Amino acid sequence: MLAIETSCDDTCVAILDRKSSIEPPRTMVHLKETLNSASAGGIIPTRAHLHHQQQIGPVTHRALQSAGMPDIDLVCVTRGPGMPGSLSGGLDFAKGLAVAWKKPFVGVHHMLGHLLIPRMLNNGQNPRFPFVSLLVSGGHTVLVLSRSCVDHEILCDTLDIAVGDSLDKCGREIGIRGNMIAKEMESFINQAPLRMEVPMQLPNPLRNKSTRVDVQAFSFAPFITALKDNFTKPLSEYNVEEVRSMAYQIQEAIFHHIVTKLKLVIRLNQEKFEGVSSFVLSGGVGANARLRNLLETELGDNFDNFCYPPLELCSDNAIMIGWAGIELFEKQSLTTDLHATPVRKWPLTQLLEVPYWNSNK
Ligand code: AMP
Ligand code: ZN
C-alpha cells in the first residue's frame, strides 16, 4: 500500500506492508519533505502548491526504491480538507499511479487519518469504538467521538486559534525561542524547581456569565492578549526565575482551560459517553507530560485507559493516511472514483457525503 499526504506544507509518502489482515501493517518507508516557510512568515498557498509539484515525484521515487520496488496493491491519498493546490499535488499523482498500476485508490479525509492511526498499532483492535480523541496540535484543538470508521462527531472545537499556536505565541512573548516553542517552554519549566512567584492574571475563556452559559468550545486567543497585559516592565528586566514562573502559569492556565471544557462537555453529554472507555490524546501538544498528568487525574474517573500514540504518528504523516485508507477499504469496502477532485472544506461529519465514493459492499 502506498500513501501520499500533501494537504498542508509536508510532502509525505509512505509504503506499508499489509501481509495479512490479522496483523498490523509494517511501515517499510516513510519520507517527509517540509516546505521551508521560515523566511515567508507563514505558509503561502502558491508556494506550497509548487513545493508539492516539485517534491511528489522524487519523494515517491525514493520511497519505492528504498522499499525495494514492491508491487503496490492499493494507493491512498489525502483528498481534503485543505488547500486545493496542495491537495491536487498529491491527489493527481496518486490517480496516475493507480491508473498505471491498475490498482484501486482511496481518497482519505485528513482528520480521519489522525483519528484512526492509534488503532493501527493494534491492527484495528484498540482503541475500540466508541472512543474519544483529543487532538491538540499547532493547527487543531478538537474533541471527537468516534463510533465507527465512518461515524465521527465533533464534541468540542476551538473558536479561534489552536492550543499549540497559542502556547507558541505566548512562549515567544516571554522570550522562548526554537522550532517548537511550546516544547521548549515545557523543558524550560522543568529545568529547575519554581523558586519565585510572579503573580499573573490569566483568563479561563468562555466561562459562564449572565449572557452566556455552558459554551461547549475552546478559545485560546485571549491568553495572548491577557499575557501582554501582565508585563509591568520590559521583558529584559525579569530574571530567569521570574520568566520560569510566567511560563509555568501560562502552561497551567491553558491546560486548565482544556480540562474545564472537557469536564463540561462530558457533564452535558453523558449519554454520548456511555460505552466509551478509551481517551486518545494526540497531536504535538499531546507530548506534554503536564497535560497528560492533568487529564489522567482530572478525567481518570471517566475513562479506563488513556492512549498516547507515538509522536511521529501524531504529527502530519502519510502512514496515518495509509492506515485510514486500509480501514475504509477493508472494513467498509470503499474506494474512490478517478473523477474525484480535492475537497477544500469537508466536515468530518459528512465523510461519505462528497461525490465519487465507490462502495463495493
Ligand atoms: P503538530 O501540529 O502536531 O506537528 O504539533 C506542533 C505543536 O505541538 C507546536 O505548537 C509545538 O510547539 C507543540 N508541542 C510539541 N511538543 C510539545 C510539548 N512537549 N509540550 C507542549 N507543546 C508541544
Ligand atoms: Zn493534521
Q: For 337-352, what is each residue's pLDDT tens digit?
A: 999 999 999 999 999 9
Mean pLDDT of 310-316: 87
Would you say residue 311 has pLDDT above 90? no
The region of weakest confidence among 27-41, 45-59, 185-199, 335-349 is 27-41
Block residue for cell numbers 476551538: 158
| 31 vs 49: CA distance, rounded Å | 18
107 CB contacts (<8 Å, ≥6 apart)? 77, 78, 79, 80, 91, 336, 340, 356
**Residue 314, pLDDT score:** 85
Q: How many CA atoms lie within 13 A of 125 on its CB side?
A: 7
User: Is the Cβ atom of 317 under 6 angstroms away from ligand 1?
Assistant: no
| Ligand nearest to the CA of residue 139, numbered in listed order | 1
**Residue 147, pLDDT score:** 97
pLDDT over 70, % of the chain? 98
In DSSP notation, 124-171 reads T-SSPSSEEEEEESSS-EEEEEEEETTEEEEEEEBSSS-HHHHHHHHH
**Residue 40, pLDDT score:** 62
| Ligand nearest to the CA of residue 78, numbered in listed order | 2
**Residue 139, pLDDT score:** 84
Would you say residue 39 has pLDDT above 80? no
| Ligand nearest to the CA of residue 291, numbered in listed order | 1
Averaged pLDDT score across all residues of the chain: 94
Would you say residue 19 has pLDDT above 70? yes
User: Is the Cβ atom of 167 under 6 angstroms away from ligand 1?
Assistant: yes
**Residue 195, pLDDT score:** 84
Q: Is the bond leading into 70 cis (omega within 30 degrees of zero)?
A: no
Q: Measure 139 CA to ligand 2 centroid, in angstroms.
A: 7
**Residue 267, pLDDT score:** 97
User: Is the Cβ atom of 149 under 6 angstroms away from ligand 1?
Assistant: no
* Protein residue with its CA nearest to atom 8 in ligand 1: 284
**Residue 46, pLDDT score:** 86
CA distances from 5 to 85, 193, 204, 268 (A): 13, 42, 36, 36
Would you say residue 107 has pLDDT above 90? yes
Would you say residue 296 has pLDDT above 80? yes
Would you say residue 44 has pLDDT above 90? no
User: Is the Cβ atom of 320 under 6 angstroms away from ligand 1?
Assistant: no
Residue 38's pLDDT band (cuts 50, 70, 90) = low
**Residue 36, pLDDT score:** 78
User: Is the Cβ atom of 63 under 6 angstroms away from ligand 1?
Assistant: no
* Protein residue with its CA nearest to atom 17 in ligand 1: 183
In DSSP notation, 222-265 reads HHHHHHHHT-SS-GGGS-HHHHHHHHHHHHHHHHHHHHHHHHHH
What confidence tens digit (pLDDT) does each residue in 271-291 have?
Answer: 999 999 999 999 889 999 999
| 19 vs 25: CA distance, rounded Å | 7
The region of weakest confidence among 29-43, 116-130, 132-146 is 29-43
* Protein residue with its CA nearest to atom 16 in ligand 1: 183
- Tell which atom from ligand 1 comes closest to the C-alpha of 162: 10
Would you say residue 108 has pLDDT above 70? yes
Mean pLDDT of 60-64: 98
Query: Which residue of 166, 167, 254 sits with most ligand 1 atoms within 8 Å of its CB, as the best mutation to test the pocket?
Result: 167
**Residue 41, pLDDT score:** 61
Looking at residue 209, its amino acid is: K
User: Would you state the torsion angle of the CA atoms of residues 343, 345, 348, 350, taken in this order, to the nearest 10 degrees?
Assistant: -70
Residue 268's pLDDT band (cuts 50, 70, 90) = very high
**Residue 156, pLDDT score:** 98
User: Is the Cβ atom of 164 under 6 angstroms away from ligand 1?
Assistant: yes
- Tell which atom from ligand 1 comes closest to the C-alpha of 140: 2
pLDDT over 90, % of the chain? 83
Residue 42's pLDDT band (cuts 50, 70, 90) = low
- Tell which atom from ligand 1 comes closest to the C-alpha of 187: 19
- Tell which atom from ligand 1 comes closest to the C-alpha of 136: 3
Mean pLDDT of 180-185: 93
| Ligand nearest to the CA of residue 316, numbered in listed order | 2
Would you say residue 89 has pLDDT above 90? yes
Residue 113's pLDDT band (cuts 50, 70, 90) = very high
User: Is the Cβ atom of 287 under 6 angstroms away from ligand 1?
Assistant: yes
Estimate to the nearest angstrom the gap between the alpha carbon of 60 and the chain centroid. 23
Would you say residue 31 has pLDDT above 90? yes
Q: Measure 162 CA to ligand 1 centroid, in angstroms.
A: 11
